[in-house]
Each structure stands twice: as C-alpha cells, then as structure tokens.
Amino acid sequence: MREIPGIGLVAWTRCSYLKLNMTDRIAYSLDAADRIVRIEGQWDDFAAANRGQHVTRPSVLGTSIFSHIAGSEVRSLYRQIFAKVRETHEPARFPYRCDSPEFRRNMAMTVSPRDRAGLHIESTTRGVTTRAPASILTRGKTGDTARVACICSVCCRVLDADGTWREVEAADVAAACLGSAGSVQLVDRICPECSMVDLGCRYLLTGNDRVSGRPRPLVVFLHGGGHSNYLLRLQAPPRLWHRLQQDDALLVSPLKRTSGAWTTHEVQQIIDHVSQTYAIDSHRIYVTGVSAGAIATWRLLAQQPRRFAAAAPIAGISPGAVRDVSIQTPVWAFYGERDPVMRAQSFRAELERLRRFVPTLRATEYPEAGHEIWGRAYNDATLWSWILSQRAGSTTGRRGGW
C-alpha cells in the first residue's frame, strides 16, 4: 500500500479504480500543527473502494498530514504552500492529476486559511476519462533489480531513462519495450515544469526527510542559468540523488526563476528555513553549484566564510568575489580545459590568486572538456566521499593541491 498518490488526496494507493464524479469532493482541515482535525465529503467512500480501510476517518483523525504523504519533494512542496497561505492569509488554488491505472483524473485543490493558524484543504474532480489500464501505476518493487522510475505527484508524468518526463501511457509503453514489466519502483517527485508553477515553491527537497535521531547533513545545490526549467534532466544532484544514496544527507535545490545572477541573500534564507524545519547538523552544511551556481557558491563563501563545511563549484568562478577574507572552508573546484565560457588560463590564474585566501583549495581540470562537465564530476563517488567527510571547524582532510 503506497501513501499519497498525488498532491491532493491523502493516503490512497495508486490502485484507485473508483471513478469519481464531477460533483465528488474530498476535504479535510488541519490545526496549527498540521494534524487532521476534520474530514468532509466522500472520504470514507473513496477509502472503502480502494482497499483503504485503514485510512477511514477514525484512523486518520488526529494524525499529522505529513505521515500520509509520500516523497520528500512532495512533503516539502506542501510545507511551502502551507507556510505561504498562513503568511498571506490568502487561499492557494491549483490543478493536479490523481490517476489510477484505468482513469485519468483532473483534480483541483484549494488550501484556505482558518482561525488559529489552521488550514482547510479541499479537492474536487474536474474531469475523468477512461483508458486502457496503465500497469506502471500498479507496480511495486519486486526485487533488488527493480528499475526506479520517478513520477510527478502533480501532473502524473513519469521520468524516462533519457531524462524526459512522459505521460503515463507513453511511459508504460517504454517500460514494456525495456522488458521491465513488473519490476518498476515508483518514487514520488515534482517535475521541473510543476515546480515552476506559482505554488509558493522556492526550492526542491530531495532525500529521506523522515530520518529521526541525530542531526543530518545538508547539501545545497545551485543550478546554472535557465536550468530550473529542466532541473531533473541535468546530470546533477537533484536527478542523481536517489541513485547516489549519499549517507543520510538532505539535498536542497533553490529554484531561480528570473534572469541574472543568484541572490545569495535568498539562498541563505532558504538554508535557514530548511535548517529550522529539519534536524540539520550545523557543522555539516555543504554547497555546490554549476556555471552561474558555481559563481554564487564563491560569493556565498566570501559572505559566510565559516558557515559551510565544504564547497564544490563546477564550471564557474567569480573573479574578485573573494578579497580580504580568509576562507577556511575546504573547496574543490572543477573546470574544463576547453570551457568556452571562461578560458582555462583565466581559471588557473584566478585559482592561483584565490590560494592566498583559501588555503584548503584544490582543483581539477578536465582535459579536452568544455563547459558542461558537471555530470562527470557529480557521478564520481570520490567527490561525494570527500564532501561528506568534512566538518566545519575541523582540519581533517583539508588539503589543497591540483
């Protein structure tokens, strides 16, 4: 039994064969601590029709909404929407999909403020169409060789092996062609296009956000100019994280939707927000970025020279950003010999100048490589071992060199 199948309906399996009518409505209210305190509409009917007897009203009342939502990115999106509604006292409305194998369901959600910081969430059906059963929506993990497929919890598209988000029907055909029938494990995520919708989403959060106990590391990834439109297509941490399975670290990827340079103040606000929301080890906060995100990484280091435990700027440098400040953070920089954006000679000269301020600096130059070198760097397990071994305030493993 999976948890939430999409952004709107709580605790239903994707094996939802009930055809909701246009007038169907499911609603619930939350208190200030995001506990479910009231349920309305066809909740129990939908649960009974979909083998969800354990999520009837008596079972879920008093529980946290976040215990019924699958996927750290989806939970993060909910938290950001809730925070925006509570802050502005204005409702948030948006469409989403909640498909079953046999039905395409177009839904709409409204999140409205209530007294005492409570919220009211209502989902209504906008349209339902039948189709041949999409078996990819019924598959669970059948063994260690199961192929992982990411599904967007807003639009129900599936991330294909080539980095393209496809409609469920097309993804089902592709899975059959690959011979992976019955061996697909679905992972709930938010696709780049849906993350661009104005839902109050300022970042993507990736990783197991439900790990309890000791504080955990946080990796901050800053994308390059224009990358937010296709963030999960990049050979970069947001796409690779589930495969890398790096320690128990969380990955936060701020989303820059405007042109121009990164606003480092906003990045710092996001880091503060995530650190306050989750149990983050303040001695193990790391930052990495590509292209314009690498430039922002250098600027963050100059502005907060003691905050980060390690940094990995890739294919980007900010001449003159670091002046008259000693940065003890270990930095591993990467660049390509034939980068057309900034010549390798300029990289080498600036890195040599930076050694006066960053004694722990090391650098890797990829021979014959151009600008887009991040896939090569991020797919190297050595980089992640080095990053996650660092602790702020420690001198272990901090060695410069080329």
Write the pLDDT tens digit of every residue in 238-250. 888 877 766 688 9
Asked if residue 144 is part of any domain, the answer here is: yes
DSSP code of residue 292: H
Note whether 160 and 251 are same-domain residues. Answer: no
- Label residue 11 by pLDDT band (50, 70, 90): very low
Note whether 234 and 162 are same-domain residues. Answer: no
Could you give the percent of the chain with pLDDT greater than 70? 79
Mean pLDDT comparison of 54-58, 377-381, 392-396, highest-scoring range: 377-381
User: Looking at 141, 168, 189, which one is the last position of a domain?
Assistant: 189
d(CA 55, CA 47): 7
Asked if residue 65 is part of any domain, the answer here is: yes
**What are the b/e assignments for 12-42, b being 16+ CB within 10 Å?**
bbbbbebebeeebebbbbbeeebbbeebeeb
Q: What was the pLDDT predicted at 25?
A: 79
Asked if residue 253 is part of any domain, the answer here is: yes
Asked if residue 222 is part of any domain, the answer here is: yes
d(CA 80, CA 204): 10
> What value does the mean pLDDT take over residues 186-190?
81
d(CA 318, CA 360): 17
Note whether 174 and 29 are same-domain residues. Answer: yes
pLDDT at residue 255 is higher than 90:
no
d(CA 402, CA 392): 22
- Label residue 49 by pLDDT band (50, 70, 90): low
> What value does the mean pLDDT take over residues 43-62?
75
Structure tokens belonging to residue 140:
């669970």
CB 360 within 8 A of CB 331: yes
> What value does the mean pLDDT take over residues 45-56?
68
Note whether 181 and 207 are same-domain residues. Answer: no
Number of domains in the chain: 2
CATH code, domain with 251: 3.40.50.1820
Average pLDDT, the chain: 81
Asked if residue 12 is part of any domain, the answer here is: no
Higher-confidence residue: 396 or 84?
A: 84
Note whether 102 and 163 are same-domain residues. Answer: yes
Structure tokens belonging to residue 389:
């071994």
Q: What was the pLDDT predicted at 391?
A: 94
Q: What was the pLDDT predicted at 100?
A: 80
Q: What was the pLDDT predicted at 146?
A: 58
Alpha helices in 304-361, H assignment, sequence order? 344-354
Asked if residue 258 is part of any domain, the answer here is: yes
End-to-end CA gap in the chain? 51
Q: Give the range among 59-68, 70-79, 263-272, 344-353 with minimum mean pLDDT.
A: 70-79
d(CA 126, CA 148): 30
Asked if residue 97 is part of any domain, the answer here is: yes
Mean pLDDT comparison of 134-148, 221-235, 260-274, highest-scoring range: 260-274
Q: What was the pLDDT predicted at 180?
A: 53
User: Looking at 189, 222, 257, which one is the last position of a domain?
Assistant: 189
Q: What was the pLDDT predicted at 65?
A: 92
Query: pTM higher than 0.85 for the full model?
Result: no
Write the pLDDT tens digit of every residue in 189-203. 887 677 655 555 678
CATH code, domain with 139: 3.30.450.20
pLDDT at residue 171 is higher than 80:
no
Note whether 207 and 185 are same-domain residues. Answer: no
Note whether 179 and 215 are same-domain residues. Answer: no
Q: What was the pLDDT predicted at 199?
A: 54
Residue 45 parent element (H or E)? helix 43-49
DSSP code of residue 35: B
Higher-confidence residue: 385 or 247?
A: 385
Domain that holds residue 305: 202-388
- Label residue 208 by pLDDT band (50, 70, 90): confident
Note whether 329 and 251 are same-domain residues. Answer: yes
Q: What was the pLDDT predicted at 279?
A: 87
**Which residues lie closer than 8 Å to 87 by C-beta, 6 or more apart?**
none
Note whether 156 and 211 are same-domain residues. Answer: no
Structure tokens belonging to residue 135:
């078996």
**What are the b/e assignments for 301-334, b being 16+ CB within 10 Å?**
bbebbeebbbbbbbbbbbeebbeeeebbbbbbbb
User: Looking at 166, 189, 212, which one is the last position of a domain?
Assistant: 189
Phi and psi for 297 in degrees, rounded to 5?
Answer: -60, -45
> What value does the mean pLDDT take over residues 181-193?
71
Angle made by CA atoms 372, 377, 381, in degrees to the nearest 5: 155
d(CA 189, CA 6): 10
Structure tokens belonging to residue 390:
């660092």
Return the number of other C-beta atoms located less than 10 Å from residue 396's C-beta: 9
- Label residue 12 by pLDDT band (50, 70, 90): very low
- Label residue 4 by pLDDT band (50, 70, 90): very low
Asked if residue 126 is part of any domain, the answer here is: yes
d(CA 376, CA 236): 9
Q: What was the pLDDT predicted at 20?
A: 47
Residue with tokens 């807003």, as numbered in its chain: 154
Q: How many residues does the chain have?
A: 402
- Label residue 42 by pLDDT band (50, 70, 90): confident
d(CA 36, CA 114): 13
Mean pLDDT comparison of 92-101, 114-123, 180-189, 231-240, highest-scoring range: 114-123
- Sheet with 250-254, strands from edge to edge, namely 203-206, 250-254, 216-222, 280-290, 310-314, 332-336, 362-366
Strands 184-189 and 147-152, bridge-based pairing: parallel
Could you give the percent of the chain with pLDDT greater than 90? 35
Q: What was the pLDDT predicted at 301?
A: 93
CB 142 within 8 A of CB 182: yes
> What value does the mean pLDDT take over residues 303-317?
94
Q: What was the pLDDT predicted at 132?
A: 85
Note whether 223 and 362 are same-domain residues. Answer: yes
**Radius of gyration of the chain, Cα coordinates, nearest whole angstrom:** 23
Note whether 218 and 91 are same-domain residues. Answer: no
Note whether 163 and 142 are same-domain residues. Answer: yes
